[in-house]
Copies of this chain bind each other. A is one copy, B any other.
Amino acid sequence: MTGKIITISRQFGSGGRTIGKLTARQLGLECYDSEIIAEIAKKSGFDQNYIKENSEDTAETGLFAALSGLDFYGHSNRDEIWTMQCRVIRELAEKGPCVIVGRCADYVLKEDFDLLKVFIYADMEARARRIVEQYGESDEHPEKRLRDKDKRRAAYYEVYTDQKFGDFENYDLCLCSSSIGIDKCAKIIREVYQM
């Protein structure tokens, strides 16, 4: 499988980003995550925070979001960011083997690139602990925020990809980081990649 691009989709708080970085380092590959946002900002002129708010974990879903900020042709800024994001992801993939975390890269690249598609998830308790301890979020009702984030991420993914977020059929490998551990997840991905 060596030579493929590894895409890592992940539940918020599952440690997917850390696993992606670890895997990339051990394989000597580039890992793209926030770099994608920076590149979209450069290309589009949008502010990085605005891009973050209007991609992946976008706060608004549904009709309101769909209709807000439409241009003359009925495109929203969110659509514009999506188009830009697809272009950036393709450009990065064309440079060669790498690890791409999130941003629907599994869907964007699936027709034209050889992929190892990974999904990382974890149980609610572990995710809540992680966002409080590692991401420095408030310890008031972290589960509620996670459920909300899950909904937004799934909605975004489903609107732009017409696939279901977290549906096993979209991935080669789905790993529960709270059962298996961060390091071991990276090791398994590496092993499958090096087959």
Q: Contact: B172 with A173, CB < 8 Å?
A: no
Bound-state Cα–Cα, A116 to B179, Å: 9
| A191 part of interface (Cβ distance < 8 Å) | yes
**Contact across chains for B174 and A168 when beta carbons are under 8 A apart:** yes
Taken together as a complex, chains A and B put the C-alpha atoms of A191 and B184 apart, in Å, by 9
A59 within 8 A of B: no
Per-residue B-contact encoding for A85-123, CB less than 8 Å = 1, 0 else = 000000000000000000000000000000010010101
**Of the candidates B173, B192, B195, which one forms a contact with A174 in the assembled complex, judged by CB atoms under 8 Å apart?**
B173
Q: Residue A176 at the B interface, CB < 8 A?
A: yes
Do residues A195 and B191 form an inter-chain contact, with CB atoms below 8 A? no
Q: Are A195's CB and B181's CB within 8 A?
A: yes
List B contacts of A172 (CB < 8 A).
176, 179-180
**Contact pick for A188, options B116, B123, B192, CB 8 Å:** B192
Chain B residues, Cβ within 8 Å of A173: 174-176, 179-180
Asked if A142 CB lies within 8 Å of chain B CBs, one says: no
Quick one: CB contact mask for A158-181 with B, threshold 8 Å, 1 for yes?
A: 000000001011011111100111
Additional 4 contacts, C-beta under 8 A, given A116-B179, A173-B179 = A168-B168, A173-B180, A174-B175, A180-B192
Give the top 5 A-B pairs by smallest Cβ distance, nearest first.
Answer: A174-B174, A172-B179, A172-B176, A168-B174, A121-B168
**A contacts, CB < 8 Å to B:** 116, 119, 121, 123, 166, 168-169, 171-176, 179-181, 184, 187-188, 191-192, 195
A sample of 23 inter-chain contacts (CB < 8 A) reads A116-B179, A119-B168, A121-B168, A121-B169, A166-B168, A168-B168, A168-B174, A171-B174, A171-B176, A172-B176, A172-B180, A173-B174, A173-B179, A173-B180, A174-B174, A180-B192, A180-B195, A181-B195, A184-B192, A188-B188, A188-B191, A188-B192, A191-B191
